[in-house]
């Protein structure tokens, strides 16, 4: 009997986790070696005493309820004692750097001698796990942050790749892409086709030579804004290069495309630019016909623009 | 195992045993937490993961956040006990158990685990007691998630043929309610069937 008891004591003290036996009034009946080492409280000091004398901060109402639950159910119950007042606080004496000052405890309350209202409480130090979780959460937050930046950057690059940096309109590359798609669509007919408008600012070289390139750029920005505000929803406006702008105009016939171009011409004519005053632009328009390619459509629009320039500028021509 | 092998009789017996176990759980909660509640008649079915997903979609609104506590149990019979509460219910429980007007996240988690301990211990212990076996419980874990994330990819891979036992628990005075799911699979379904057969023999002997 004594030998068995000795074995039990040896086993109890050899456990690699904190184990204590306590009754429903929180009087300590056993306190193993692990607890002695990690709390600095010897079993001689604590056995027979109330746990509250050593750990007054613990929520004893909650703890006693958990002990009663275990005794009533006759099965172990578990809880995570991460909160400081849930169970005894044990300092974490780890030499290596640690995010936690006290141990994070996973507590299991098992029935010990139910008739004496005693339970065995096993505490497992899950600080490493908590630390890992915290590190993981930090890393996850960092990944989310970097991913957001990456998504924003990707969007910005995407926008930059299709935008003219000066006027913020679509660039030539994007315009060609859209034109190609429109050419591929089969449903265009004479009365319901699409057209192209090329606009060229009149005497732009003179503006640059007289007022300098900075003013020239301001003119281009102002023209872009005006064109942008005047085109219809669904029309595609882009900067072709230099002082030339292009517009793809879907669902039009000859009359309609000329009307759209005329509206754009009037809008430019009515603009007032500081230092310069007013400016004008010439417009060449063409309509898609069966068999057209990007080159043939562009050629006809260019031809119309040439005629507009030749005819005195500030006018719309169709070809 | 074929679904047909788990007959309507087996399901009836299981339903009866679950009724007893649920009664036991409400009595224990009344005694331990001074909260008087009711549990709905359990729904029991043999299903696959798609069936469980559809069942959860019908039962649990996906647009809310839930405290989901999962606890494994094992032995001659094993499975997973899942207790699901809306965040509002969980906060009410934390408020009730810890007597705090605005409980902190840890208080809520602790309260949810405390209630899960009682529920799993009483329901599963009573069920297994009726089947003349004992089981061991493993440490539960709680996560806050949305309704549609209740069943993860991992579980879809883990469970193929499953038995769903589901009920709703309501404590009106405390404004606390929750859903209970008990999932078991594969060999455990086979064992459960054998244990129920033994129980039937015992009853009709």
Tens of pLDDT along B164-185?
888 888 887 788 888 888 888 8
In the CATH scheme, what architecture does the domain A172-318 have? 2-Layer Sandwich (3.30)
Residues of chain A with pLDDT under 70: 1, 82-84, 94, 96-98, 186, 190
Token digits for B91? 């906060």
Beta strand pairing call for A316-318 and A281-287: parallel
Q: Residue B155 has what pLDDT? A: 65
* Contact criterion met (CB below 8 Å) for A290 and A190: no
- Of B28, B140, B137, the closest CA to residue B84 belongs to B140
A78: helix, strand or coil:
strand
Query: A73–B125: do the CB atoms touch at under 8 Å?
Result: yes
Average pLDDT over residues B31-45: 83
**Half-sphere exposure at residue B67, Cβ-oriented, CA atoms within 13 angstroms:** 28
Q: H helices then E strands: how many in chain B?
A: 6, 8
Instruction: Please state, rounded to an integer, the average pLDDT across all residues of chain B.
Output: 83
For an interface test with B, the pick among A78, A84, A108, A137 (most B C-beta atoms closer than 10 Å) comes out as A78
> Would you list which residues of chain B are within 8 Å, Cβ to Cβ, of chain A?
28, 31-33, 97-98, 104, 106-107, 109-110, 113-114, 117-118, 121-122, 125, 137, 139-140
Q: Residue A173 has what pLDDT? A: 92
Q: Residue A146 has what pLDDT? A: 95
A294: helix, strand or coil:
helix
Q: For residues A37-52, b (16+ Cβ closer than 10 Å) or e, as one string?
A: ebbebeeeebeeebbe
Beta strand pairing call for A281-287 and A193-201: antiparallel
B-contacting residues of A 102-161, CB under 8 Å?
106, 108
Measured between beta carbons, which residues in chain B are less than 8 angstroms from residue A66?
114
Euclidean distance between CA atoms A213 and A78, whole angstroms = 77
Token digits for A196? 């192209």
Query: B98–A83: do the CB atoms touch at under 8 Å?
Result: no
**Half-sphere exposure at residue A82, Cβ-oriented, CA atoms within 13 angstroms:** 18
* Contact criterion met (CB below 8 Å) for A103 and A125: yes
Euclidean distance between CA atoms B69 and B77, whole angstroms = 20
Euclidean distance between CA atoms A134 and A139, whole angstroms = 9
Query: B114–A77: do the CB atoms touch at under 8 Å?
Result: yes
For an interface test with A, the pick among B121, B123, B134 (most A C-beta atoms closer than 10 Å) comes out as B121
Nearest to A72 among B32, B98, B104 (CB): B32
Token digits for B182? 């008990």
Q: Which domains does chain B have, with CATH numbers?
A: 3-200 (3.40.1550.10)
* Contact criterion met (CB below 8 Å) for A203 and A219: no
A167: helix, strand or coil:
coil
Q: Residue A147 has what pLDDT? A: 93
Q: Residue A205 has what pLDDT? A: 93
* Contact criterion met (CB below 8 Å) for A226 and A272: no
Q: Residue A202 has what pLDDT? A: 95
**DSSP at B41:** P
Residue A148: exposure state from Cβ atoms within 10 A (0-12, 13-18, ≥19): exposed
- How much is the pTM? 0.64
Question: What values do phi and psi take at A27, rounded to 5?
Answer: -80, 130
Q: How far is CA A187 from CA A182, A183, A290, B156, in A?
A: 10, 10, 10, 48
Question: What is the nearest CA distance from A24 to chain B, expressed in angstroms?
Answer: 14
Question: What values do phi and psi take at B144, rounded to 5?
Answer: -100, 125
Residues forming a β-bridge with A91: A102
Measured between beta carbons, which residues in chain A are less than 8 angstroms from residue B122?
73
Q: Which helix (H) or strand (E) holds A286?
A: strand A281-287
Residues constituting chain B: 205
Alpha helices in chain B (DSSP H): 8-33, 49-59, 87-98, 105-130, 153-158, 186-204
Q: Residue A96 has what pLDDT? A: 67
Query: B137–A82: do the CB atoms touch at under 8 Å?
Result: no
Find the residue in A nearest to B122 (Cα): A73
The reply to whether A53 belongs to the active site is no
Query: A108–B125: do the CB atoms touch at under 8 Å?
Result: no
- Of A317, A315, A314, A318, the closest CA to residue A203 belongs to A314
Choose the CATH number for A2-125 among 3.40.1670.10, 3.20.20.80, 3.30.450.20, 1.10.10.10. 3.30.450.20
- Say what percent of chain A tops pLDDT 70: 97
* Contact criterion met (CB below 8 Å) for A83 and B106: yes
* A132-185: pLDDT as tens digits: 888 898 999 999 999 999 999 999 999 999 999 999 999 999 999 999 999 888
Q: Which of A146-155, B49-58, B187-196 has the lowest mean pLDDT?
A: B49-58
* B76-123: pLDDT as tens digits: 888 889 999 888 889 888 888 877 777 788 888 888 998 999 899 889
Query: B137–A78: do the CB atoms touch at under 8 Å?
Result: yes
Measured between beta carbons, which residues in chain A are less than 8 angstroms from residue B104?
83
* Contact criterion met (CB below 8 Å) for B176 and B35: yes
Nearest to B121 among A65, A75, A86 (CB): A75
Is A17 within 8 Å of chain B by CB? no
Q: Which helix (H) or strand (E) holds A262?
A: helix A254-269
Q: How far is CA A9 from CA A6, A35, A53, A61, A107, in A?
A: 5, 14, 25, 30, 21
Q: Is B157 a residue whose pLDDT tops 70?
A: no
- Cα distance from N-terminal residue to C-terminal residue, chain A: 114
Euclidean distance between CA atoms A103 and A82, whole angstroms = 8
Is A73 within 8 Å of chain B by CB? yes
């Amino acid at each position: 009997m004594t030998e068995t008891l000795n074995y039990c004591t040896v086993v109890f003290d050899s456990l690699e986790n904190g184990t204590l036996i306590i009754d429903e009034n929180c009087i300590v009946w056993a306190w193993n070696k692990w607890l002695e080492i990690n709390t600095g409280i010897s079993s001689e000091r604590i056995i027979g005493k109330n746990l509250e004398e050593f750990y007054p901060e613990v929520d004893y109402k909650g703890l006693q309820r958990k002990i009663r639950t275990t005794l009533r159910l006759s099965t172990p119950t578990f809880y995570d004692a991460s909160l400081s007042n849930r169970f005894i606080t044990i300092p974490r004496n780890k030499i290596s750097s640690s995010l936690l000052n006290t141990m994070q405890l996973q507590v299991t309350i098992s029935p010990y001698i139910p008739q004496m209202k005693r339970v065995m409480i096993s505490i497992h130090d899950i600080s490493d796990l908590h630390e890992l979780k915290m590190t993981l959460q930090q890393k996850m937050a960092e990944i989310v942050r970097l991913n957001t930046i990456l998504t924003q950057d990707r969007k910005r690059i995407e926008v930059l790749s299709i935008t003219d940096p000066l006027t913020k309109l679509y660039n030539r590359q994007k315009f060609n892409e859209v034109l190609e798609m429109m050419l591929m669509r089969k449903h265009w007919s004479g009365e319901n086709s699409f057209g192209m408008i090329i606009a060229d600012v009149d005497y732009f070289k003179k503006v640059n030579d007289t007022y300098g390139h900075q003013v020239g750029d301001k003119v281009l920005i102002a023209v872009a804004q005006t064109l942008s505000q005047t085109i219809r929803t669904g029309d595609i406006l882009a900067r072709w290069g230099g002082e030339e702008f292009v517009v793809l105009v879907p669902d039009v016939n000859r009359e309609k495309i000329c009307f759209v171009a005329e509206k754009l011409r009037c809008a430019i004519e009515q603009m007032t630019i500081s230092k310069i005053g007013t400016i004008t632009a010439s417009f060449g328009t063409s309509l898609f016909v069966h068999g057209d390619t990007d080159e043939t459509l562009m050629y006809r629009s260019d031809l119309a623009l040439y005629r507009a320039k030749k005819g005195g500028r500030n006018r719309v021509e169709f070809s | 195992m074929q679904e047909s092998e788990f007959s309507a009789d087996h399901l009836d017996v299981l339903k009866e045993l679950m009724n007893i176990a649920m009664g036991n759980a409400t009595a224990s909660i009344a005694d331990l937490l001074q909260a008087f509640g009711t549990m709905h008649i359990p729904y029991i079915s043999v299903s696959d993961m798609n069936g469980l997903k559809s069942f959860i979609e019908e039962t649990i609104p996906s647009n809310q956040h839930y405290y989901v506590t999962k606890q494994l149990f094992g032995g001659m019979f094993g499975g997973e006990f899942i207790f699901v509460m809306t965040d509002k219910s969980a906060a009410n429980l934390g408020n009730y158990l810890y007597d705090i007007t605005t409980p902190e996240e840890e208080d809520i988690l602790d309260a949810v685990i405390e209630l899960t301990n009682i529920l799993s211990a009483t329901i599963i212990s009573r069920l297994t007691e009726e089947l003349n076996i004992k089981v061991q419980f493993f440490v539960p874990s709680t996560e806050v998630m949305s309704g549609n994330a209740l069943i993860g990819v991992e579980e879809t891979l883990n469970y193929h043929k499953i038995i769903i036992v589901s009920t709703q628990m309501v404590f009106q005075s405390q404004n606390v309610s929750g859903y209970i799911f008990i999932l078991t699979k594969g060999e455990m379904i086979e064992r459960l069937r054998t244990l129920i057969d033994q129980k039937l023999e015992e009853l009709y002997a």
